[in-house]
């Protein structure tokens, strides 16, 4: 099979590519080629058994997606996006990348005429207050941010292009991925990772919201598992409703800090400094907290069962299993 990753230079795209290169297959199908696409060059994973092509470009530009889909990939992971905080501040750019880019991918797949499995990374931001607790998949998507609106539009497009037989698509509402390695990005949710990642690295972290803010999380390792599992699902088993929320851990910011304290100690947890930020607080206020993910669980998706597990995954995968002091 041929695999194409849009957003291949991003954190999840990189980890997905590394696992594909390591395992050499998706389900029972061998990967014949892997293409990584992004606005900046992705790093090819070391030791890949299959050819790995690195492509760069501007996804919404005319003909760009068609150029990539002309090779008729069997599986397309569409992870490319402008993140939440930046999409809210740069309105035109958010719509160009998140909406126009998604439409370009789907149109290119339609033109290629091979009905690939397209896995679209959606977001919990597709939902907006007022919200039930917990939120089921049947709850209406009524986002309160530009980013959430763009992701909700993408979900609808994936479902409609699937209904028409142009693609075999799935829209996965990913939990907030935590703990994200590397440098902070422009996502409004970035502090959820920062208050764990930076203290573990011996650095100060800034917390812009109150300790009682609750959110839905899964690790980068779980995110890659979600994507790979989605690539193997039987479309008939999924049915016509192609967008659904994935399992995760509901925890307050205070609960995150307590998990960090239990694992790494008081000295590490004391590196968090509280500095309220009205912009971030305003965005977060309309975000969902807990979900009923029975549908995803019934389809075989698996995540961590506690936030302590998520912290341990970060220590194992990013810190070499070495407990910081």
pLDDT digits (tens, 9 = 90+) for 10-69: 999 999 999 999 999 999 999 999 999 999 999 999 999 899 999 999 999 999 999 999
- Give domain status of residue 134, yes or no: yes
Task: State the first-to-last Cα distance of the chain, in angstroms, to the nearest integer.
Answer: 45
Across 231-237, average pLDDT: 96
- Give domain status of residue 128, yes or no: yes
Q: Quick one: 40 and 53 in the same domain?
A: yes
- Burial call 292-314: b when 16+ CB within 10 Å, e when fewer: bbebbeebebebbeebbbbbbbb
pLDDT on residue 325: 66
- Is residue 62 classed as helix, strand or coil in its secondary structure? coil
- Give domain status of residue 180, yes or no: no
For 39-48, 123-132, 209-218, 229-238, which range has the lowest pLDDT when averaged over its residues?
Answer: 123-132
Listing DSSP states for 306-325 in one string gives SHHHHHHHHHHHHSTTPPP-
Q: Quick one: 123 and 99 in the same domain?
A: yes
The residue whose two tokens read 């909406």 is 99
- Is residue 96 classed as helix, strand or coil in its secondary structure? helix
Across 117-124, average pLDDT: 97
Q: What are the tokens at 24?
A: 């050499």
Identify the band that residue 129 occupies on the pLDDT scale cut at 50, 70 and 90: confident
**Residue 284, domain CATH:** 3.90.25.10
Q: Quick one: 16 and 33 in the same domain?
A: yes
Question: 201, 32 in Cβ contact below 8 A?
Answer: no
Q: Quick one: 171 and 270 in the same domain?
A: no
Across 261-273, average pLDDT: 97
CA–CA gap between residue 216 and residue 162 (Å, rounded) = 28
Q: Quick one: 167 and 268 in the same domain?
A: no
Cα dihedral value 141, 142, 146, 152, nearest 10: 20
CA–CA gap between residue 226 and residue 246 (Å, rounded) = 8
Identify the band that residue 289 occupies on the pLDDT scale cut at 50, 70 and 90: confident
Please determine, for residue 138, whether its predicted confidence score (pLDDT) is greater than 90.
no
Q: Quick one: 224 and 313 in the same domain?
A: no
Bridge partners of 90, per DSSP, are: none
Please determine, for residue 206, whether its predicted confidence score (pLDDT) is greater than 90.
yes
Q: Quick one: 30 and 153 in the same domain?
A: yes
- Which residues are annotated as catalytic? 147
- Burial call 176-207: b when 16+ CB within 10 Å, e when fewer: bbbbbeeeeeebbbbbbbbbbbbbbeeeebeb
Helices and strands, number each (H, E), in the chain: 14, 14
Share of the chain above pLDDT 70, in %: 99
pLDDT on residue 185: 74
pLDDT on residue 323: 77
Residue 322, classified by CB atoms within 10 Å of its CB into exposed (0-12), middle (13-18) or buried (19+), is exposed
- Give domain status of residue 92, yes or no: yes
pLDDT on residue 322: 86
Q: What are the tokens at 28?
A: 């029972």
**Residue 112, domain CATH:** 3.40.50.720
- Burial call 267-291: b when 16+ CB within 10 Å, e when fewer: ebbebbeeeeeeebeebbebbbbbb
Q: What are the tokens at 279?
A: 């912009």
Number of Cβ within 10 Å of residue 245's Cβ equals 27
pTM, to two decimals: 0.95
Domain limits at 12? Answer: 2-175+219-245
Across 135-153, average pLDDT: 93
Q: Quick one: 80 and 153 in the same domain?
A: yes
Q: Quick one: 196 and 263 in the same domain?
A: yes
Cα dihedral value 249, 254, 260, 263, nearest 10: -80
Identify the band that residue 317 occupies on the pLDDT scale cut at 50, 70 and 90: very high
Q: Quick one: 168 and 58 in the same domain?
A: yes
Number of Cβ within 10 Å of residue 135's Cβ equals 19
Across 182-192, average pLDDT: 83
For 95-99, 160-164, 286-290, which range has the lowest pLDDT when averaged over its residues?
Answer: 286-290
- Give domain status of residue 181, yes or no: no
Identify the band that residue 292 occupies on the pLDDT scale cut at 50, 70 and 90: very high
Across 64-88, average pLDDT: 95
Q: Quick one: 119 and 228 in the same domain?
A: yes
pLDDT on residue 284: 82
- Give domain status of residue 323, yes or no: no
Q: Quick one: 169 and 20 in the same domain?
A: yes
- Nearest to residue 253, comparing CAs of 265, 263, 261? 261
State how beta strands 33-38 and 52-56 pair: parallel
**What's the domain count of the chain?**
2
State how far Cα 209 lies from the chain centre. Answer: 22
Across 100-123, average pLDDT: 98
- Give domain status of residue 324, yes or no: no
- Give domain status of residue 184, yes or no: no
Summary mean pLDDT of the chain: 95
């Amino acid at each position: 099979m041929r695999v194409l990753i849009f957003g291949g230079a991003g954190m999840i795209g990189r980890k997905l590519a590394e696992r594909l290169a390591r395992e050499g297959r998706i389900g029972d199908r061998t990967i014949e080629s892997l293409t990584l696409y992004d606005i900046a060059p992705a790093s090819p994973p070391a030791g890949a058994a299959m050819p790995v092509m690195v492509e760069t470009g501007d996804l919404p530009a005319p003909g760009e997606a068609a150029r990539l889909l002309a090779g008729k990939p069997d599986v397309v992971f569409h992870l490319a996006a402008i993140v939440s905080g930046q999409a809210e501040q740069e309105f035109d750019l958010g719509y160009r990348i998140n909406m126009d880019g998604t439409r370009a991918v789907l149109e290119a797949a339609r033109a290629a005429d091979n009905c690939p499995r397209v896995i679209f990374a959606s977001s919990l931001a597709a939902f907006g207050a007022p919200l039930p607790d917990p939120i089921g998949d049947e709850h209406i998507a009524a986002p309160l941010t530009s980013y959430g609106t763009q992701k909700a539009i993408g979900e609808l497009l994936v479902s409609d292009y699937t209904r028409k037989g142009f693609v075999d698509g799935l829209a996965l509402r990913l939990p907030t991925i935590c703990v994200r390695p590397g440098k902070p990005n422009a996502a409004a949710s970035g502090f959820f990772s920062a208050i764990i990642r930076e203290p573990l690295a011996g650095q100060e972290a800034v917390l812009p919201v109150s300790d009682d803010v609750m959110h839905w999380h899964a690790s980068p390792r779980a995110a890659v598992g979600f994507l790979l599992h989605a690539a193997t699902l039987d479309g008939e088993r999924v049915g016509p409703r192609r967008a659904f929320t994935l399992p995760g851990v509901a925890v307050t910011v205070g609960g995150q800090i307590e998990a960090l304290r239990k694992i790494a100690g008081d000295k590490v947890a004391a590196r968090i400094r509280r500095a309220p930020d009205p912009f971030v607080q305003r965005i977060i206020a309309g975000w969902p907290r807990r979900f009923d993910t029975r549908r995803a669980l019934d389809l075989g998706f698996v995540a961590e069962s506690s936030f302590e597990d998520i912290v341990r995954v970060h220590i194992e995968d990013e810190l070499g299993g070495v407990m910081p002091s």
